[in-house]
Amino acid sequence: MESSPSSRSKRGSKKLDSNASAYLYRRYIAGDTERELAYEEQVVNAEIARKIYDLRSKAGLSQRDLAKKVGTSASAICRLEDADYEGHSLLMLKRIAEALQKRVEIRFVPAKKLRAA
């Protein structure tokens, strides 16, 4: 149940990790607005999942331990750490942050498309 987000799905990195990934991005995603938007959304989901996993791991907590602190189930934490999960809520992120003695910070930055390698 406790695998890292990157082992389950796309890597959360904006920079593609290999020539093969860059090729596949250029071949199947680049230039197709709908696919580019879907890809960017998946990158964001993977980044959130990775941050939750990293914070929990750094705190030395199991998914069950974090779930108890947050007031939810271990399966909910597992879903939140899944790179394919699309249901992250600000309220839940705040609850997780509080349980880990952190705070959520939201920044608005200039829009730019993710680039392949």
Q: Which tens digit of pLDDT belongs to each residue from 67-111? A: 999 999 999 999 999 999 999 999 999 999 999 999 999 988 887
The counts of H helices and E strands in the chain are: 6, 0
DSSP state of 60: T
The per-residue pLDDT for 53 is 97
The per-residue pLDDT for 18 is 82
pTM of the model: 0.75
Mean pLDDT of 52-72: 97
What 3-state class would DSSP assign to 47? helix
Q: Please name each of the domains of the chain with its CATH number.
A: 5-99 (1.10.260.40)
| Residue-averaged pLDDT of the chain | 85
Mean pLDDT of 57-64: 97
